[in-house]
């Protein structure tokens, strides 16, 4: 959960920074960065809302309506996958450092997709009471979140390098 919170905080900061940068002109790198931020924020918001809603639904006197949980997981996963698709569909401009930024972003997106798959598997195992599979998928999910956190750090570093190469301030 700490990794998820870190993802959400970084997404919020990235969104604010990119929104400020968007007013600086129609530079193609800035425009691309804004598109990335919007899709990234949508993905993080969907994942965050899904986990918040699950936590809320599971925190009711031990009474859980499976239909409600199904709706939360399927809706959250669908919304997150839409954000992931938007990130994958972006066309980076031809500018210094952008291809490296885009490559790191695509690796991060692959990690998020993996986490979504494992979240679904973990949820399904919990629904049917398969404790062995649940334990296995939870361990894989934990490792995936750690990997995603490192990939996110690489995205941020690549973004900073791209900004430097294009004389763009991210502050």
What confidence tens digit (pLDDT) does each residue in 45-99 have?
Answer: 898 898 888 878 776 666 667 888 889 989 999 999 999 999 999 999 999 999 9
In this predicted structure, what is the pLDDT of residue 5? 52
Average pLDDT over residues 129-147: 90
Between the alpha carbon of residue 91 and those of residues 33, 36, 37, 149, the distances in Å are 11, 10, 14, 24
In this predicted structure, what is the pLDDT of residue 53? 87
In this predicted structure, what is the pLDDT of residue 161? 96
């Amino acid at each position: 959960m700490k990794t998820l919170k870190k993802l959400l905080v970084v997404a919020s900061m990235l969104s604010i920074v990119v929104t400020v940068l968007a007013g600086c002109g129609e530079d193609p790198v800035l425009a691309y960065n804004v598109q990335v931020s919007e899709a990234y924020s949508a993905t993080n918001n969907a994942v965050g809302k899904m986990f918040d809603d699950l936590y809320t639904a599971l925190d009711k006197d031990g009474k859980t309506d499976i239909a409600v949980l199904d709706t939360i997981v399927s809706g959250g996963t669908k919304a997150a996958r839409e954000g992931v698709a938007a990130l994958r569909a972006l066309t980076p401009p031809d500018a210094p450092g952008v291809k490296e930024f885009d490559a790191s972003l695509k690796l991060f997106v692959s990690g998020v997709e993996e986490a979504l798959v494992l979240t679904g598997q973990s949820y399904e195992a919990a629904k049917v009471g398969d404790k062995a599979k649940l334990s296995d998928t939870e361990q894989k999910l934990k490792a995936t979140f750690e990997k995603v956190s490192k990939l996110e750090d690489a995205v941020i570093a690549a973004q900073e390098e791209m900004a430097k190469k294009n004389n763009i301030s991210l502050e």
